[in-house]
Amino acid sequence: MGGQSLDTSNPTSKMMLTMLAAVAECERDLMLERQREGIAVAKSNCKYQGRPPIANEQRDAILTMLNNSMSLTETARRLGISRATVYRIKRDWYHGFL
């Protein structure tokens, strides 16, 4: 809020905070609704495919590098993929999904 602090010890400030939270929640809901509508339109036009699958060889390379104590960041850099992909593969392996 522009660097100003909000004193929540009085009723007016509490009301303002509650109103700001409600506006933020409404904005979030509208954004998600627009996203769902856009995905539905893309699917109906055969344009939406989601995340591309990762090749088994690349998944095996990720697990090998991690088992050889290579960092997640270095693994992602060497394979030219995102760290999020490396984290997801590691998580899936850890939980027995792979």
* Domain extent for 38: 1-50
Domain of residue 80, CATH code: 1.10.10
Of 98, 95, 57, the closest CA to residue 79 belongs to 57
* 66 and 35 both lie in a single domain: no
| Cβ contact 68:60 at 8 Å | no
**Into how many domains does the chain fold?**
2
**Residues 21-79: pLDDT tens digits?**
999 999 999 999 999 999 999 999 998 888 788 899 999 999 999 999 999 999 999 99
pTM of this structure:
0.53
* 35 and 12 both lie in a single domain: yes
* 60 and 43 both lie in a single domain: no
* 34 and 76 both lie in a single domain: no
